[in-house]
Every structure is written in C-alpha cells, then in structure tokens.
Structure 1
C-alpha cells in the first residue's frame, strides 16, 4: 500500500526512494542518509517519517495502519509520540516501547483520541477538563468527533460552572453519543447528530432510547429508567444549538436553508414535548418510583450504635490523655534542649490531636442524624 509524503503532501509508491531523491535538503532526510543502508537506525527514521506523513493524510481516520487488527470491532488509534496507527487494545504496549523507558502519562487510548482531535477547533475547557475524564472507548470518540455533541458539552459547561458538573457533562455527552450510535445501526444514513435531528426520525429516537435503557418488552419494564427520562432534555438542547448554528451559518450548516431547517427542528422539539412522555418518560418514571418503593432500607441496630459510641469515646479519651502527657514532656524537652525528643513528641501529639478531632467529628455527625432512635446514645 502506498504512503503519504510528509513534504510533498501526496501519495507515493516507493516512499524511501522518493524522499531520498526529492527531499535531501530536509533535516530528517539528511539524517537518514547518514545512517548505513539496512541498519536499524535508518529503518526507524524512515518509519517515523512515514508515520508522520500518513497521519497528516488521515484527517481523523486511519490512512495506513502500522499493524492491522484481527478484531473488526476494534478501532485504530494513533500513538501520541510517533503518530503511527495501532489497535486500540494494543496501543499501550507500543507506547511503552515508543517512549523508550519514560513513564507514560495517562491512558494510551485517551492520548490517541486527543491526538486525532488535535486539528479540530474545540473549547479549551471542554478539551482540558472533560475529555481526559471520559472513558477512552468508541462512545467517547464519537462524542468528541461530533460537532453538535461538542457544542452541547460546551454550552452545558458554560451554564454549570461548578467543578462537579465536569463529570455530569462527560456523562451527558456519552449519552448523546450512545443515541447516535444506536440510531446509526437502525439507519446507516445517519452519520452525525445533525443528520439525525429530523422529525421523521422521532420513532427511531424512541427505539434507540428503549434499547439503551434496556426496555424489556415482555415484562414492560425499563432497567435504566433514569436515562429514558433525562435524555429528552439533552436532545431538545441539541435542537436549540443546531438552530443557532444554522442562523450563524457555521459548519456543517453552511449549505442548509435556515428557514427550512428551523421549521424541521421546531417540529422535532414539539414532538419531544408532546409525545415523548407518552412513548417513554411516563412509563420510565413509574418504573423509577416503583423501584424506590421496593428498595430495602438497611437501618442500624441500637446495639451497633452503642458499640460505635463506646469506641469513639475510648479513642477520644486516649487521645486526650496522651495530649496532656505530651504537654508536660514537651515542656521538659524544651528546658533540657533535646531536639530529637522534642520533634518526636510533637509528631505524636499531632497524631493524637487528629484522632481527637476525627472522633468528635464522627460523634457530631451521628448526633445530627434524622432518626431519633439513632441519637439517643449521643
């Protein structure tokens, strides 16, 4: 299979001969020419240059893999160091060799996915805070590649600036990606979330949601009712973002008629608001409430609470006695000017002080419990 020349930016058949004949003035090629023919160093330099060119030609997809995977379901990801494409499951093994003894930072698959997205214009906070926390699998890669899902994550982060919403943003982006992948199985013409936001695909949204929420048709039960209830809000937000992009004529909405596209999206939003509750959410909500009612609540026994109280009191008393003892010993050490003894006593005093604080804190928490029977011993 031909390779892509990094300098010529075109496909060439004989890569080695091409670069030596046409690009001898380049620094990397000049270094290759200094190595003996057939040597390991010369071969490695050729491979590095070949991988750089093939990555340049990939455009986010594998142009030529260094080693083909035998499992069709596995994706091919680039190494963040040499830019060669490898099987996602075996990328970590190559990365250890490629970095030559240095400790790799982070997951190899996450680094490979980030390298694929290096040429895309992505919100800095989304890229630096959300993407590293996403599980490096096919679902996350689809979420990172889809412009509408990325825009959803950016908007969600802007409206929810607290730190714990980073995990929520990651989860919601993955939920949208799951919907997109499931709809793609039902209709191969749906390539992006943008192409799937059409009123004619409403029933397909319902089917995809039921499949992901693990709807059991025989028992008429959702095994994951929370997903079925919450995904509608995310889909409506995606519709709003798509309308905004169509107004601004941003890619991939440059060639789309704003009026027609807006009418279709508003129709889809209307379907979500009126029919989604009958198709999915009301049934899922009833399943969720039923699960809450049937959930077994484990209550602490009074005898166990009594033992816990006695244990905490014992720890606090011992720590308090030790602190009083260390107080006198530290004073004696200061008078005698024995630094080693003084430092050891201070360290022990800190440990006992922490134990005292923790035991008091635990007793305060137990004192403020809602059930009156659980705080009679405190």
Structure 2
C-alpha cells in the first residue's frame, strides 16, 4: 500500500481516529497543549500513522508471524524488535517519497531528537539520522551485532533507483561531493556522471583504487568548474546563449569559447596564470574526449562520436600554441627551481625525523599487553609508514599499500633463495640479510613489482599492526587487507605522505618532506658515489625510474664536477690552470694530476718494484693526523668521505683484523694498496706526499 495516504491516531480506548496526513505535517497535535506531543510513526504492515505505534502493532497485527515471535521474547529483545518495526515503517514511507520525480526531502521522517540537519541512513538498520550525529548511532547499532559487517553512512538519495549507474559508484563518488555549486552540478548533469562512471569502472577492482578515486573526483570537480566558466562565457556573447548540458562544451563551434573558459579558470586575481592547472586541463579535455567517444560508440551514437573526434582534432591543432607557455613554465620550474642544491634536504632534519620515528615505534610497541585503541594504533601506523617511506625513498602511496599477504611473504622470506644465501661470504652482506626483510608490492601495472626493504627496527611494530586481535580492538574492518589500514572500519589504506607530514610536525621540522624532496636527495647523493654500472642500474630499478629520469628530473646538476673536470680542461687551454687550481685553503687542487706526471716521470713509481708490508701499530708513527676539515678540503666535500667505510671493510679479515699493505718510498712519500669495493680482482695504488709539523700536511696525492 502507498504510505502517507490514510493516517490514523489511536485513542486510549483502542479505536483509531483519523488525523491529518503525514505528508503535510510530521507530528500530530494533541488536544492537551500543556503536554508534549508524541510524534506519530507509520506502521510497517498497514501504513497507518499512530502516535503509539507499539500498541497499534500489538492490537492490529498480532497475527503477523514476526509480531507473534517478538511478543514471546524477553523484554529487552522484544523492545529491540519493535524498534526495528518502527524503523522499517519509516524506511518504507521515505522510500515512497523518494520514488517521486521531484521528491521533497523536507517531508522525510527520521529518528527522534535528530534536529533539522540533513538526513543520512544507516546501511544496516535502515534508520534515518542527522548526518552530523549518525556516527554516534553506528557505534551502538544493534543490527551490527553478531555480524562482520560495520554500519556505514548512506545518502538518502541512494534510495532512488538509477539503473544507469551502480550503487557503488553513486555512494563512493557522486554522494561524496559536498553540497556546493560544483557538487550539485556533478550530481545533476548526466553527461558528467557518465564520464565519471565510465572512468570508475576501469579501476573499480584495482589495488590503487583509493588514489585513482581521489584523482577521478578531482577531474570531475575541474570539469564541472570549467563548465560553470563556460556558461559564464556564453552569457557574455551577443545574444546570450544558455546551456543545459556539459556535452555542449565539446563541440567544434565552441572551441574558442572553451579556450576563454580555460583562461578565466586558470587566471588569478593578480592576472598571473596557474600554469600547472592550465597544463592539467589539457590532459583532462583529452581524457574526457577519449572516454566519451568510446561511450558514444558503445551506445551506437556514431554521430556524437564523430563530432567528439573532430572536436579533439581541432583542439590538438591549437594546443601547441595555447598550452605551450604553461607547459614550458612548469618544465622550467622543475628544472631550475626544484633541482637546486638549496632544495636538498638537510641531513640533520632527516636524522631528526628518523630518530623520532624509531623512538615512537619503540615506545608504542613496548607494552604488548596494553589494549591499543584506534588513536594509538594510528600513531604507530604513521611512525612505521614514515620510516619505510623515507628508508626506501619511495613514492608515498607505495609502502602504505602493503597488504597482509605481502608482509607475510616478507616475514617468511618467500622471495629469498636459500640456496644462494649459503654462497654469500661477505660479513656485511650476511648481516644485512639477517636484519632486513624484503616485500614486493604490486604496482599499477600487473607485471611490475615494487621492492620494499623493511629494516629490523620495524618488525615488532609491524607484527602489532597486523595482529588480528589488535586490529579488532582498534576498529579495523576485518575485511581490510592492508597492513597499514585506516581506522573507523574503513576498507582503505593510509595515505603515505599524510603519515610523513604528521610525523614531520610532531618531530618539530620546519618543513614537511614529500616524495620529490626525498628522491631529489637520495638521487643526488648516490650520483656522487663511486658505484659500478650494475649497482646504479639496481638503484634506478628500486626507485622505479630510468637513468635519464634520475639525471634530468631528480638529482642536482653536477655543477661541482663540471667545474673541477670540464672547467679544468678549458682553463688549461687558456693557460689559466696554475691560477685556477688553488682553493681558498691553500691546497693545490690540480696536484692529483701533477703527482701522476711528476713522480712517475722522476722516480718511475709506476714501474718500480715495491716491497710492501702489513701495517701494524709501530708503522707510520710520523704520519700526520688529519682533521675532518682537512679531509673535506681534500675531497671537495663530504660525499667522498662517506665512501671510506666501504673501502675500509674490504681490508677487514675474517678474524676482525685490519690488513693494509704499505710501502715507504721515502721519508715523505707513502705508497698504499687499496682493495676495490666492487671487485676482488681490482686493486688501486695510492701515493701520498706528506710532511709533519706544517699547516699543509698533505702536499700531493695520486691514485690509480
């Protein structure tokens, strides 16, 4: 029966009296004005409105099977059942209202004491509550008992059937926009909704659904914003033109008007251009044309598909001139501003953030018997995600997408070949294998795996975050498959760089660190290391980009190397090498080449037979002690100094002794054999010309 047609109120004698229709007034006014009126509610069985609905159901519908079973239950369970009857009646009544072509949302019924705010529906019990306070109901929703499902907030508009779009698309995309001018336009323009739905279906089951959903919603906002600007441009032409659909914007006759709309959208109040936004609008228009053309072909609207192709052809012709300035500005900013050495992260800031993350993990994971609520769980999750993201120099969304299965594979060393482990002899490499786990995360491409190194200081925290009982106590959805989940029963994972940003603020850093900053730093530092081509290839593969991207996008330009090598050559052509070779500290920077020519010619050092002996505690008593400042002046910075431990490890024997072969060519000339850290077959010869008791203890040096 249709709800809201015939309305009754039960009297104290049990007779039903007609009252005013509910569709025009939501409460029944009693004759006694001194008493607070009791609101009438619809019966789920007959649709009758009654202020005492429980008594009405007991008297009029006691023969119903569900009512008869409810009457035999204990009082507490019986009250729950009758509360369910009331909500079922409200749900049916509201569903009838929403079936109208133009429903009046003011006539919707809701639970008591909900105020006049916008209504939302509980997905499990079908109750209608204020959108602002429905979170209180979800905590104690009785329909969620004895089930793995958790109540979610549903928009009342979802009750209106729309066969063109799936309920998941409407709930996860359309109903997530705010009630602004742009949000209302997206929900009312069917053409914009079709573009969004076609794009949504392409990533509905993707591992990166969370990131792609955010990207799609941003595209829909920009498309709606562009359409609003387009309508403003239409209003200025003579005579003014009105537009009813966003599809009218993608027409050959509207190309110039679309360009004007883009200019209005991407121009600030001070007449400067939002270059990044303007550049993104180019790719948005291209994507909309591609998606909607395919949509037209599927629906056999060939004329519209051809028109879309012609519009795209014209736009591609004018793009080089219309978008060129913005694309050049974005490229120039990336090349000249983001790659400057002044943009490099400070080692002190990285160390401060790393230490704070490790302390937070240790503190939060120290008491294994403490019940971890969702706020502490979130803090521990943020600390671990921050640590892994910075340790691996990964993009923010990659470590946070780690699944429980991928973590269990890393824990069981599923990717480690135990047979090859036995062949490793290097003590450092053995130690790393014992203190590092590796997981592989699925990238956007199914055939590509992204490596994630997990250091030992994260293992205990990871075991807590993935524990079933801990996750249950922290309000983690049992169906959530991610190792770093969002709380409040969400099915999504945390956002990596949001976690890093929170940790930066807590650690007291003046600036937040993002993915570009971190990759800029590690790429620049690694470029200065003496790494073999195979090692560099492995490094680029870990970061997920090529050598050209590493050199031309992330790392600083090699300005110092260019001056000291190329600049030295060009100065030698002009005869300026003797004046340009001296540093401010008085050290001769060209000595590295001079000793090669001078000593090898004068003393025939490269061909002379030398008697080497192992260095011991009595050897080289006269060799000067070098301060860190002197070493930095010799190596032109700190990056070469950082390689010293790697070379030193090559001379540590299995017994732990430091074996180094030296030869004293003269009182001030020392010859040393240095083992290469890349291959056991290569040995470097180092000559050092030194003096004691002077301001310049190292006069010259040369290494083969």
TM-score normalised by length of structure 2: 0.33
Query: Which residue is 2:224 aligned to?
Result: 181
Q: Is the 8 A contact 2:3 2:92 kept in 1?
A: no
Query: Which residue is 1:93 aligned to?
Result: 136
Query: Which residue is 2:643 aligned to?
Result: 376
- Superposed, which structure 2 residues align to 1:110-125 within 5 Å? 111-112=154-155, 120=163
1:356 to 424, 429, 435: 435
CA distance in 1, matches of 2:137, 2:244: 31
Query: Which residue is 1:137 aligned to?
Result: 177
Q: Is the 8 A contact 1:79 1:85 kept in 2?
A: yes
Is residue 220 of structure 1 aligned with residue 272 of structure 2? yes
| Alpha-carbon spacing, 1:101–1:192, altered in 2? closer, same or farther (3 Å) | same
- Superposed, which structure 2 residues align to 1:328-339 within 5 Å? none
Query: Which residue is 2:88 aligned to?
Result: 48
Query: Which residue is 2:290 aligned to?
Result: 237
1:152 to 170, 180, 199: 199
Is residue 273 of structure 1 aligned with residue 316 of structure 2? yes
Secondary structure at 1:218's aligned position in 2?
coil
What are the superposed Cα offsets for residues 288-345 of structure 1, whole Å, 9 maximum, x if unpaired? Answer: 1232122244446799999xxxxxxxxxxxxxxxxxxxxxxxxxxxxxxxxxxxxxxx
| Alpha-carbon spacing, 1:116–1:42, altered in 2? closer, same or farther (3 Å) | closer
Query: Which residue is 1:80 aligned to?
Result: 123
- Superposed, which structure 2 residues align to 1:254-293 within 5 Å? 258-259=302-303, 261-279=304-322, 281-292=323-334, 293=336
How many residues are matched?
298
2:47 to 19, 27, 34: 19
Query: Which residue is 2:515 aligned to?
Result: none
TM-superposed deviation, 1:222: 1.0
CA distance in 2, matches of 1:303, 1:177: 42
CA distance in 2, matches of 1:34, 1:211: 69
CA distance in 1, matches of 2:347, 2:86: 74
| Alpha-carbon spacing, 1:215–1:132, altered in 2? closer, same or farther (3 Å) | same
| Alpha-carbon spacing, 1:117–1:55, altered in 2? closer, same or farther (3 Å) | closer
TM-superposed deviation, 1:40: 9.5
TM-superposed deviation, 1:266: 2.8
| Alpha-carbon spacing, 1:201–1:238, altered in 2? closer, same or farther (3 Å) | farther
Larger radius of gyration: 2
Is residue 163 of structure 1 aligned with residue 207 of structure 2? yes
Q: Is the 8 A contact 1:80 1:112 kept in 2?
A: no
More helix by share: 1
TM-superposed deviation, 1:230: 2.7
Tell me which of the two structures has the higher relative contact order, counting C-alpha pairs closer than 8 angstroms and 6 or more residues apart.
1
TM-superposed deviation, 1:104: 9.6
TM-superposed deviation, 1:247: 0.8
- Superposed, which structure 2 residues align to 1:59-74 within 5 Å? 63=105, 64-66=107-109
What are the superposed Cα offsets for residues 198-253 of structure 1, whole Å, 9 maximum, x if unpaired? Answer: 445556655665676x53253422164353343123222233123214416xxxxx
Q: Is the 8 A contact 1:184 1:191 kept in 2?
A: no
CA distance in 2, matches of 1:169, 1:240: 21
Q: Is the 8 A contact 1:77 1:112 kept in 2?
A: yes
CA distance in 2, matches of 1:354, 1:41: 60
CA distance in 2, matches of 1:211, 1:27: 65
TM-score normalised by length of structure 1: 0.55
| Alpha-carbon spacing, 1:240–1:118, altered in 2? closer, same or farther (3 Å) | same
More strand by share: 2
Secondary structure at 1:83's aligned position in 2?
coil
